[in-house]
Structure 1
Amino acid sequence: MILSASRRTDLPNYYSDWFLNRVREGFLDVRNPFNARQISRISLSPEVVDCIVFWTKNPAPMLGRLRELEGYDFYFQFTLTGYGAEVEAGLPDKRQVLIPTFKRLAQELGRERVVWRYDPIFISGRYTPEYHLKAFGEIARSLCGSADLVVISFLDLYQKIRRNMERLEMEPMGTEAMLELAGAMAKIAYNCGMAIESCAEAVDLSGAGVAHGSCIDRKRIERITGCRIRCRKDANQRLECGCVESVDAGSYNTCLNGCAYCYATFDRERILEHRAVFDPHSTILGAPPGPEDTVRPRATQSFKVPQMSLFDENGPDQ
C-alpha cells in the first residue's frame, strides 16, 4: 500500500503530532468523503505501507521528527510558488522560511525524496506570465542542487473555487499561452539541473519540454525502496492523472493554509468545526467516530515484489 498524506490537507504542517501518534499506534481511521458514517481503519504496519507520500507547503513542524518515521520509506511533494498572501494566506515568508526549509529537508533526505511543485498556475492582472517566470526563476536558482524535479500544472477552475478565483480576477489562458509559459519554465529548470513534469494536465506540454508526470510515482517509489512495485493507475483520480493507486490519510476541510485555489478546503464553517474538535490523540483527523458510525478494517497489502526485475522496467500492470 502507498499512503498519501495527504491530497486533502497539509498534514505535515498542521497535523504532524496526530500522524506520528497514529504511526506509533499502528493504524489510523479515515472517514469516507462520500458517506460520512462509513469509516475505514487503515493499518500503518511497515509490512503493509510500502511508501508514504507527503504533500505540503510547509513541512517545518515535521523536520525535527523524521526519525520517528524510521522503518518507513517516504518522500515529500513540496509546493512552493510565487503567490502572495491574498492567494496563500496561511504561509510564512517564502524567502526567509520556506526556501531554507526546502533546502534543509533535501539536505537531510536527499534530492530524490523532495519534489518541488510550482502549481497550480493561474494568470491575472498581478500574476502575469512574466511574474510567474520571474518567481519561478528565483525559486529554481535558490533550489539548484536541492531538487532534481519540478512539477507544474495550470489551474482547473472547479465550481468550489470559482468565487475565490473571480475575486482574484483570474484570466482565461489558451493552449498556446500555456505552451509558451511552460517552455520558458522548462529552460529555466534545465539550466538549474532539474527535470520538469506536468501534473494531471489535459494539455500536452511535451512539445514545450515538459513531460507528463506522476506525483505518486511508481518509478520514484521503486528507486527509494529498492524494490519493484506492482500496482495500477489510481482509478479514483482524473483521467489525466498519472498517479498509481494509494490510500489517503487526510480529511477535506481541515487545512489552514487558506489557499484560494484549493479544491479540498471549500467550507469555512466546516474547517472551523474540524479545528474545534481536533484531538492529536484521536484515531481520525476531523470529527471523532460516533455511535452512528461504522468502522471497518480496510483490506490492504504490500505492492512490493521481493526481487526487483532489471528486465521489465515498466512492470506488468502499467
Structure 2
Amino acid sequence: MILSVSRRTDIPCRFTPWFLNRLRAGYALVRNPLRPSQVSRVPLTPGAVECIVFWSKDPAPLLPHLGELEERGYPFYFQFTLTPYGRDLEPGLRDKGDIEAAFRALSRRVGRERVLWRYDPVVLTEGYPLSWHRATFEAMCARLAPYTASVTISFLDLYPRLRSLGLRAPEAGEVRELAAAFAASARRQGLDIRACAEPWDLTPYGIRPAACIDGALIARLTGREVTARPDRSQRPACGCLESVDIGAYDTCPNGCLYCYADHGRPPAPHDPEGELLTGALRPGDQVRDRVCRPALSGQTSLFSFGDH
C-alpha cells in the first residue's frame, strides 16, 4: 500500500514521535472519520508499506529520523506546503525563513525530486491581492528552484465557514491571470507546474493536473511498476492513486484559517505512546485489521532515480 502521512493533519510537524513509535510497533489504529466507532488496524511494516507520502508545512522534526526510515526500507517523498502568508492566516507555524531553511535542508538530504513544493491554496484578502501573489510567487520560485523540481498550485475552496473570515477565492478571470503569471514564473526557473484538483482547465498556460499520490514518481523512486488504482474517494478532479491515510481531522495545531481538515471541534488528547493519534479506544469500538491491496508489482520499472 501507499501510506499517506497525512492529508488530515500535519504529522511530520506535530506528531513525529507518535509516528515513529507506530512504525516501530508495526501498526497504527485509525478511526473512520465518517463512522467513528469503526477503527482500522493499519499495518506499518516495510512489507506492507510500499511508499510513504508525507504532507507537511514544516517537517523539520522528522528530518533527524530519515535515516531510520531508510534503514527500515521505507521509500518516501514529501509534499511540502510552503506559502508566504503571515500568522494572520497561519498562526501556528514558525517563521517562514526558518521553514525555508528546513526546505533546503530536506532537499539536500533526500534530493530535489523527493521534495515537491506546494503553493497551496491561493487565498485573496485585502492584504494578499493578486499583485502580491504574482510578485511573491516569482520570488519564491527563484529561491526554491535549486531545491525542488516542481510546484503544485491550488486555489482556495471557499467553504461556508470561511466567508465570515474575510477570505476570498479567485474568480474566473483572476484564476486565468494568476495561472498565466505563475506558469511564466515557474518556466523561467525550470520548474514543472501543476494544479491540484482544480475544475479549471489550465493546460493553455502549461499547467497540467497534478497527481499528488503520483504513480510515475513512485515508480521512479522504487524502481517497480505501480499497479494502484485511482483514488475514487477524493474530489472528481483529483489525480491521486489510492492510499491509506493514518491521520485524523481536527487535530492539527498549526491553526491555518483556510484549512479544510479543521471543523472547529476540539481534539482529543494526544499521547505519543498511544495506538491512535488522539484519544483512546472506547466501549463499543469495532477494531478490524485493514486489508491493504498491494500498490506495486514485483516487476521492475524501466526507470528509477538510480538511472538519472
Which of the five TM-score ranges fits, normalised by the shorter chain? Answer: over 0.9
* 1:291 CA drift (Å): 2.5
8 A contact 2:219–2:301 mirrored in 1: no
> 5+ residue gaps in structure 2?
304-308
Whole-angstrom distance in 1 between the partners of 2:124 and 2:105? 31
Aligned to 1:145, the other structure's residue is in SS state helix
Give a deviation string over 1:130-149, Cα, whole Å, max 9, x none.
11112212221111210100
1:308 aligns to what?
300
1:49 to partner: Cα distance: 0.8
Does the aligned pair in 2 maintain the 1:55–1:76 contact within 8 Å? yes
Counterpart of 1:84 in structure 2: which amino acid? G
Partner of 2:18: 18
Partner amino acid, structure 2, of 1:10: D
- Measured at CA, do residues 310 and 184 of structure 1 come closer, stay the same or move farther in structure 2, by a change above 3 Å? same
Deviations 1:118-176 (A, max 9, x none): 011021211111111122122211112101000001011123x42xx432x23453222
Is this contact kept in 2: 1:47–1:302, CA < 8 A? no
The CA deviation at 1:309 is 5.0
Structure 1 segments, 4+ long, off by >3 Å, are 308-311
Residue 196 of structure 1 aligns to a residue whose secondary structure is strand
- What TM-score do the two structures reach when normalised by structure 1? 0.92
Q: For residues 27 and 169 of structure 2, what CA distance do their matches in structure 1 show?
A: 44
Question: Which residue is equivalent to 2:282?
Answer: 290
Matched, 1:200 2:197: yes
Paired with 1:235 and 1:260, the residues of 2 have a C-alpha distance of: 27
Q: Does 1:218 align with 2:215?
A: yes
**Alignment-derived partner of residue 241 in structure 1:** 238
Secondary structure of 1:8's partner? coil
- Report the secondary structure of 1:186's partner residue: helix
1:116-265 correspondence runs (5 A): 116-159=117-160, 161-162=161-162, 165-167=163-165, 169-265=166-262
In structure 2, distance between residues paired with 1:56 and 1:309? 28
TM-score, reference length from structure 2 = 0.94
Unaligned runs of 5+ in 1: 312-318
Counterpart-to-counterpart distance in 2, 1:256 and 1:94: 17
Aligned length: 301
1:259-287 Cα shifts (integer Å, max 9, x gaps)? 0000111225x23xx2xx21111111111
Cα root mean square deviation, aligned: 1.4
Q: Is the 8 A contact 1:20 1:68 kept in 2?
A: no
8 Å contact kept, 1:145–1:193: no
Displacement of 1:218: 0.7
For 1:39-67, what per-residue CA distance to the aligned partner results, in whole angstroms no more than 9, with x for missing partners?
Answer: 00000121121111110000011111111
**Counterpart residue identity of residue 261, structure 2:** A
AA partner of residue 157 (structure 2): D
Secondary structure of the residue aligned to 1:188 is: helix
Structure 2 partner of 1:280? 272
Aligned-residue identity in percent: 46
What is the alpha-carbon distance in structure 2 between the residues aligned to residue 246 and residue 57 of structure 1?
A: 20
